[in-house]
Chains A and B, each alone.
Chain A
Amino acid sequence: MAWIDRRPGVRPRPSLGRRLDVAARVSFPAGITVVLMLLMEVPLGITGQSALLPAVTLCCVWFWSLVQPQYLPPLVVFFIGLLLDLLAYFPFGVGTLTLLCCHGIAVAVRRSIVLRGFGVIWLCFIPIALAAALLMWLLVALLMFRLLSPAPALFQAVVTIVLYPALAVPLGAAQRSITSPERV
């Protein structure tokens, strides 16, 4: 039973249409994350495009873990991380560990920051993005047993931080209208 249906209150009968509707709304956070990840792989001809994929994934996981973690449980984050590892050609485990850490931190701090407004959320995201890029860089270097230039990691952190507002605004609108319409 979905989280929407677990709260007390009057609601329509759980017909097939209603159940499909609820399923679509519940799977929206994970679905939009995966779709955005796949889109980032299309060759757009932009220099440094490879930084977009981890950046977009991290932004999505941070956003949904803060706003509606019940729709993005750790297991789903794990599989998103696995997809990131496969698509971004990271050694296995790098994406999963980074995203799970990000998710864990977001769930831990969400009560204190989620109502403080966008500015605070973004400010809190800056150290998260930096730490995530550093962690990925460190893990990749360790697992490949190679000293890698830290420049791509720094670039990824900057891209992630800059990209967050651009993603959070449409995702926020989607959250209000799709995943929690009853709160409007």
Chain B
Amino acid sequence: MIRLSIQARQALARLTLPVLILASFGLMLLGKADTLLAEKLRSSLADGLAPIYRALADPLDHARATWNDMIDLWTMREDNARLRAENDQLRRWQSIALALDAENQRLKASLHWIPDPTASYITARVVADAGGQYAKAVLLSVGPNHNIRKGEIALDDRGLVGRVTEVGARTARVLLLTDLNSRIPVIMETSRAHAILIGTNNIRPRLVYWAEGATPKEGERIVTSAEANAFPANLPVGTVHYAANGVPEVEPAAQLNKLEIVRIFDYGQNGLNGPEPIASADAKPSAPRPAPLHITPATH
């Protein structure tokens, strides 16, 4: 070790902080210049930490389930009454859905409809928040031999969650549809008008660029559009809700604030059918599905 005088050592000690502050600015430049480096470092760190988070997930789930059980016991009476009413309503809807499904099958048979290929999917557990404060994303723990690729689509049991943006050796990062950088081509279900859903980092993303005369209606269902081949058509996204300032927003169907299990669908380049085709309330045949592998013209 080099022996330095006390003065030299003190001077060096005083210099460390300014030098490191300068290094931080250098780091900012480096991060701007080489965005792949940050991505690579993050995904390798996530790969290393994923087993720890996975091990912690089970006891956490257990604690959460116990807590929810306690709350459920407390509200059991009201829940029962509400569920009975809901059950009656759902039974009516079920009969309508069955009739529509039968009719749909008949119409498809008479049209010689070629069924869309069903997409393969992987179920993965959400192990950590991967967005921080200024982004909305989650980290999934996937097996070491997964074949998840960037751009694949994540859904929970209720609707669209987002898209895979980064893939590591045993983790994948899913950018949620509420993220500031999220842009999703959507269709309003009743008017079949196209629009773009843009994330704002808030709970509800905003709906913009709809065609003139096709103003989104409160409570209208929003599904994905196959425009630009980024998403398959007709995945449930959410329902329109007007904010207090008159801006149409979409209440996501997926439970984005308590994601636990997510399915990653591989639609490939030409798989355009959703995993759960929506039983549309109107019986008339909807707009024809765009053919795979070419950019579709607007259908209206």
Using CB atoms and an 8 Å cutoff, list the residues of chain A in contact with chain B: 38, 41-45, 47, 49-51, 53-54, 73-75, 77-78, 81-82, 85-94, 96-97, 100-101, 103-104, 107, 139-140, 143-144, 146, 148-149, 152-153, 156
Contact = CB atoms under 8 A, between A and B. Distances in A.
B21, B53, B129, B257, most chain A CB atoms within 10 A: B129
B213 to A, nearest CB: 31
Nearest to A91: B31
Q: Max chain A CB contacts within 10 Å: which of B52, B60, B134? A: B134
A146 B128 contact: no
A42 B25 CA distance: 30
Nearest to B29: A93
Given A43-B60, A96-B27, A100-B24, A152 B133 contact: yes
Q: Tell me whether chain A's interface is mostly helix, strand or loop, or mixed.
A: helix
B294 interface: no
B127 interface: yes
Contacts of A75: 16, 20
A103 B200 CA distance: 33
Interface of B: 16-17, 20-21, 23-32, 38, 41-42, 45, 49, 52-53, 56-57, 60, 64, 126-135, 137-138, 180, 200-202, 257-258
B17 A144 contact: no
A90 B132 contact: yes
A92 B27 contact: yes
Nearest to B201: A149
Contacts of A144: 134
A96 B129 contact: no
Contact of B28 (A49, A54, A91, A146): A91
Contacts of A148: 134, 180, 201
B60 A42 contact: yes
Given A101-B21, A104-B21, 5 more contacts: A50-B132, A74-B16, A88-B133, A91-B38, A104-B17
Q: Give 3 closest A-B pairs by Cβ, nearest first.
A: A92-B31, A93-B28, A93-B27
Contacts of B127: 43
A73 B20 CA distance: 11
B133 A156 contact: yes
A78 B20 CA distance: 7
A53 B23 CA distance: 23
Contacts of B128: 41-43
B70 to A, nearest CB: 15
Which of A45, A51, A81, A153 is most buried by chain B, counting CB atoms within 10 A of its CB? A45
Nearest to A53: B132
Contacts of B28: 91-94, 97, 139, 143
Contacts of B20: 74-75, 77-78, 96, 100
Nearest to B28: A93
Contact of B137 (A41, A54, A89, A103): A89
B15 to A, nearest CB: 10
A133 B31 CA distance: 20
Contacts of A101: 21
A74 B21 CA distance: 9
Contact of A38 (B52, B132, B202): B52
Given A73-B16, A87-B45, A78 B24 contact: yes
Contacts of B16: 73-75
B210 to A, nearest CB: 24
Nearest to A136: B133
Nearest to B180: A146
A88 B25 CA distance: 18
Contacts of B130: 89
Contacts of B29: 93
B173 to A, nearest CB: 9
A97 B24 contact: yes
A91 B53 CA distance: 23
A89 B135 CA distance: 8
Given A89-B42, A93-B28, A94-B28, A41 B17 contact: no
